[in-house]
Amino acid sequence: MVNSLVESFMDMPPLVLVAITIASSLFLYLLFKKDYRGYNLPGGSLGFPLIGESISFLRAQLQDRGDQWIHDRVLKHGPVFKTHMMGSPTFVITGQPGNKFVFGADYDIMSAKPPKTLAIVAGEYSLSDLPKPRYLLVKQGMVSFLKAESLQHHVKHMDRLIKASLLRESKDRDVVQAVQFMKNLTFEVACCVLFGVDDEVIIKGLMSDFAVAFKAFWSIPINLPGTNYTRGLAARKRIVAKILPIIQKKKEELANGTLSPRNDVIACFLSIGGENVVPLSDLEIIDNFIFLMIASHDTAANLSSMMIWKLARDKEIYNKIREEQLSILAQRQGGDETLTWIEVNKMKYTWSVAQELMRVIPPLFGNFRTTTADTTFAGYDLPKGWQVFWVACETHMDKNFFEDPTTFDPSRFEAKKPIPPCTYIPFGAGMHQCIGNEYARVKTLTIVHHLVTRFEWSQVNPNEKISRQPLPYPSTGLPIKLVSKPAVL
Ligand code: HEM
Ligand SMILES: *[C@@H]1O[C@H](CO)[C@@H](O)[C@H](O)[C@H]1NC(C)=O
Ligand SMILES: *[C@@H]1O[C@H](CO)[C@@H](O)[C@H](O)[C@H]1NC(C)=O
Ligand SMILES: *[C@@H]1O[C@H](CO)[C@@H](O)[C@H](O)[C@H]1NC(C)=O
Ligand SMILES: CC(=O)N[C@H]1CO[C@H](CO)[C@@H](O)[C@@H]1O
C-alpha cells in the first residue's frame, strides 16, 4: 500500500507533486494553527505542531534551567512572548506590568481553570472550575477558617502534632527521608487541623488514596485499566466514600452544638448559609476538600523540606534562627508547653529566611490562565482560548526590585522599604492569591522552631542536586540524620 503510493507519486508530473505538497502543508497548517493573521502577536516560537516547546521547557526544568529558559526568551522577544505548552498556544507574561495584568484580570478576560486531569480527580465543583459567584462563596468558606483570627486558635493543636511527629520520626529511623517525611507530616496536619479528621486509620487510608490521585494529574487522560489516570479515578471514589460519613457526622455535631462552626474547613463549609444562599452540597464539599488538599500539599511540604536543606547548609543563618527561637522560649512565662500565636508572630527573622528561600526557589514556578475573550496587553493581541503562563522567577531575580538578586539575603524582607507590588509573588497576587499563606507560615515556623530547639540534623548527601520537575526536586529525597537532644529550657 505504502509502496504503491510512493510509486504513484514518482509517476506524477513535478507540478502536481508541488501542488500536493503545498496543499498538504496548508492542511496541516490549518489543522494545527488557527489563522492569526490580523492579530498582533508577540515574538516567540510555537515550536512543533501539538508538542510545541513543552519538551524543551520540561527538559530545561529538569536541568534546573527553567529560569534561564524563560530569561533567554525575554531577552530575545521582550517580557511577553508566545510559545506552545501542554497542548495549547501560550503567552508567557513576565515583569511587573505583566504580573499586574494577569493577577488583575477578572473572569470576563481570564479563567484560572486547571488542566483537565486535575478537574476530573478534584471534581467538577472544585474551586477553580466554579462560576464566579459560587467561587466567591466557596472561597469565603475556606477563608473563614484560614484567616488569622480563626487560625490563631489552632496553633496549639498544630504544635502538639508537629512536636510528636518529629520525636517519633527521630526515634524510629537512623536516616530520615526529609522530603517524604515533610509530605507525611503536612498531610497529617492537614487532616487533623484543616479538616478535623483525626482517626488514624482514616488518615492512613486517605494518605495512600491521595498518593495515587496526585499521580493522575500529570497523566494522560486515557481511561484504560492499569493507567495512572484510571487508578486516580478509583482513588477519588475511595476518598469520596471515606469523607461522606465524616460530613454526615459533622452535620449532626453542628446541629446538636457539639462542634463549633469554625472548628475546621468542613465545618465552615457546612455553616455557609443565609438569605438567598444555596448551601454547599456534599459533593461541593468533597470536591473542595480534595482541591484544598492538592493546593496545600506539595507547596507547603516543599517549603518545609527546603528550610531543612537550607539550615543544614548555612550555619550562619542556622545560628541566627536558633538564637531567635531560643529567645522566644526564654521569654516564655512558665506553664505554657506549646507555642502561642503571639510567639509565632515574633519569629520575624525565621520567616524572612523562608521568604528569601521562596524568592530564590519559589515552590510554584508559575501557573496557567486561559483567556476567555480576545484582549490586549502591551500592544499585543491575546486571542480568546490561549493559555497565559505567569512565572515568578523573572521579577524575583530582577535587580531593579531585588538588589544583588543572586545573593541570599533574608534582610531584604526586614527592611523598611516595602517590596513593590506584584514583584514578589510566591503566593501569587490579586483575586486568586493564595489564601493558605498564613497557614503555611504557622506550620513552617512551628516545624523550624522544634527542629532548631530540640534536634540536630545533617544532610547524608551534602552534594545532593536540586532540580525542578516542576517543583524543587532533591534527587535523592533529601536524606538527613535527625537526632533529638535534651530540651534547652
Ligand atoms: C508555601 C506554601 C504555598 C505556596 C507557595 C502557595 C502558592 C500559591 C500560589 C502561587 C497561588 C496562586 C495561583 C495562581 O494565581 O495561579 C495559590 C493559590 C491558592 N492556594 Fe496556595 N500556596 C501554598 C500553600 C497553601 C495552603 C497551605 C493552602 C490551603 C490551606 C493553599 C490554598 C490555596 C488556594 C485555595 C488557592 C486558590 C485561590 C484562588 O484561586 O482564589 N495554599 N497558592
Ligand atoms: C510516610 O508514611 C508512609 C505511610 O504511613 C510510611 O510508610 C512511610 O514510612 C512514611 N515515611 C516517612 C519518611 O516518614
Ligand atoms: C505513573 O506514575 C509513576 C510515578 O509518577 C510514573 O513513574 C509512571 O511512569 C506513570 N505511568 C504511566 C503509564 O504514565
Ligand atoms: C451529638 O451528635 C454526635 C454525632 O451524631 C453524637 O455522637 C453525640 O453524642 C451528640 N451529642 C449530644 C450531646 O447530643
Ligand atoms: C524540596 C521538596 O520537598 N521537593 C518536593 C516537592 O514536591 C514534589 C512533588 O511531590 C517532590 O517530587 C519534590 O521532591
Write out pLDDT tens, residues 430-470. 999 999 999 999 999 999 999 999 999 999 999 998 888 77
What are φ and ψ of residue 473, in 5° steps?
A: -135, 100
Query: How much of the chain exceeds pLDDT 70, in percent?
Result: 91
Pocket test for ligand 5, best of 215, 302, 443 (most atoms within 8 A of CB): 302
Q: What is the average per-residue pLDDT within 86-95?
A: 89
In the reported structure, the alpha carbon of residue 177 is separated from the centroid of ligand 5 by a whole-number distance in angstroms of 12
Q: What is the average per-residue pLDDT within 253-275?
A: 95
Atom of ligand 1 nearest to the CA of 103: 15
**If you write DSSP's letter for every residue of 300-314 in order, what string do you get?**
HHHHHHHHHHHHHH-
pLDDT surpasses 70 at 489: no
pLDDT surpasses 80 at 5: no
52 CB under 6 A from ligand 5?
no
Where residue 487 falls among pLDDT bands split at 50, 70, 90?
Answer: low
Number of residues that this document lists for the chain: 489
In the reported structure, the alpha carbon of residue 369 is separated from the centroid of ligand 3 by a whole-number distance in angstroms of 26
Distances (CA, A) of 258 to 45, 154, 155: 60, 17, 21
Q: Which residue has the cell 521579577?
A: 395
**If you write DSSP's letter for every residue of 256-313 in order, what string do you get?**
TTSS-TTSSHHHHHHT---TT-PPPPHHHHHHHHHHHHHHHHHHHHHHHHHHHHHHHH
CB 61 within 8 A of CB 470: yes
The span from the CA of 405 to the CA of 361, in Å, is 12
Minimum-distance ligand to the CA of 464? 5
> CB neighbours of 306 closer than 8 A, spacing ≥ 6?
357, 361, 363, 472
Residue 191, marked binder:
no
pLDDT surpasses 60 at 29: no
Can you give the C-alpha Rg of the chain in angstroms?
Answer: 25
Q: Which helix (H) or strand (E) holds 336?
A: none
Domains of the chain: 2-484 (1.10.630.10)
CA-closest residue to ligand 5 atom 12:
473
pLDDT of residue 25: 44
pLDDT of residue 33: 58
pLDDT of residue 8: 34
177 CB under 6 A from ligand 2?
yes
> CB neighbours of 385 closer than 8 A, spacing ≥ 6?
88, 370, 371
pLDDT of residue 1: 29
**If you write DSSP's letter for every residue of 390-414 in order, what string do you get?**
EESHHHHT-TTTSSSTTS--GGGGT
Q: Bigger pLDDT: 23 or 158?
A: 158
CB 369 within 8 A of CB 110: yes
CA-closest residue to ligand 3 atom 5:
215
Dig out the grid coordinates for 394 from the structure.
523573572
CA-closest residue to ligand 3 atom 10:
228
pLDDT surpasses 90 at 38: no
Q: What is the average per-residue pLDDT within 173-181?
A: 96
pLDDT of residue 416: 80
Name residues contacting ligand 1 (CB within 6 A). 112, 127-128, 139, 142, 146, 194, 292, 295-296, 299-300, 303, 363-364, 367, 426-428, 432, 434-436, 439-440
